[in-house]
Amino acid sequence: MPDAAQNKEDEGDNLRSLFLTILWALFIAFFLRVFIFQPFTIPSESMEPNLIRGDYIITSKYSVGYGRYAADPLPFPVKNGRFLEREPKRGDVIVFKPIDETQHFIKRLVGVPGDRIQLIDGILYINDTPSPQLSTDIAGPRDARNYGAAVKVETIAGRNGHLIFDEVVNRPSDNTGIYVVPGGHYFMLGDNRDNSGDSRFDQPRGIGFVPAENIVGKAEFILLSARDEFSIIRPWTWNNVRGDRFFKGIR
């Protein structure tokens, strides 16, 4: 009988230990997702040629601070701005939620509060200064749907250049009025300039200005990329993984 009682006690200790281990694992996973990193999947072509449909990206939250969607779908207790706020820089690729949207978006931040933003003949002007664009022979990713778009290297605020697609010359969206970015907001553009609903347009066609508290994180790198349907638990889909996009930094 004492042996049976001891066995029951041991089983109880093992169950408690397992339960605590699971709780700790869930807490650590929640902590990392809320405060450190969060993964996202690219669903569209608006950021081609740098990000393509099927890219799995990792965003950092600590690099920009924690807004209302930091713990999404749980609300984070901030109303304005971001907790431990760090200002994102022009040229950063940012994940955010537009006003009254349920889905996450990803665009390139080109305007900070107080900036004057305008496009003239497809050239981005920031505070009346053009952002240089150079034609390049660099091809976009093999699976990018560029529809014959020209590939150019654009330089924003003196940072390292990034690629953009320019599909149609002198499209109406290539020539805009002047947008003055209000306080506590940012101006976002897609790198696929002729196929992006961004801050050039009001909702529902675009997203308008993006409030600071709606920023989720800064896109840091591509973890992996896959064509069509892919799942880590379905080995027969593994051949859809693109072998040239593992751990690829985002510029």
Domains of the chain: 39-249 (2.10.109.10)
How confident is the model at residue 11, as a pLDDT?
64
Cβ atoms < 10 Å from Cβ of 182: 12
pTM: 0.89
3-state SS of the chain? Answer: CHHHHHHHHHHHHHHHHHHHHHHHHHHHHHHHHHHHEEEEECCCCCCCCCCCCCEEEEEECCCCCECCCCCCCCCCCCCCCCECCCCCCCCCEEEECCCCCCCCEEEEEEECCCCEEEEECCEEEECCEECCEEECCCCCCCCCCCCCCEEEEECCCCCCCEEEEECCCCCHHHCCCCEECCCCEEEEECCECCCCCCCCCCCCCCCCCEEHHHEEEEEEEEEEEECCCCCCCCHHHHHHECCCCCCEECC
Please choose, from the candidates 191, 192, 177, 188, the residue with its C-alpha nearest in 3D space to the C-alpha of residue 111: 188
How confident is the model at residue 230, as a pLDDT?
81
pLDDT digits (tens, 9 = 90+) for 44-61: 999 999 999 999 999 999
Q: Which active-site residues does the annotation give?
A: 46, 107
How confident is the model at residue 236, as a pLDDT?
82
As a dihedral over the C-alpha atoms of residue 217, residue 219, residue 222, residue 223, rounded to 10 degrees, the angle is -20
pLDDT digits (tens, 9 = 90+) for 76-105: 888 888 999 999 999 999 999 999 899 999
pLDDT digits (tens, 9 = 90+) for 9-28: 556 667 788 888 888 988 88
Strand order in the sheet with 162-166: 133-135, 150-154, 162-166
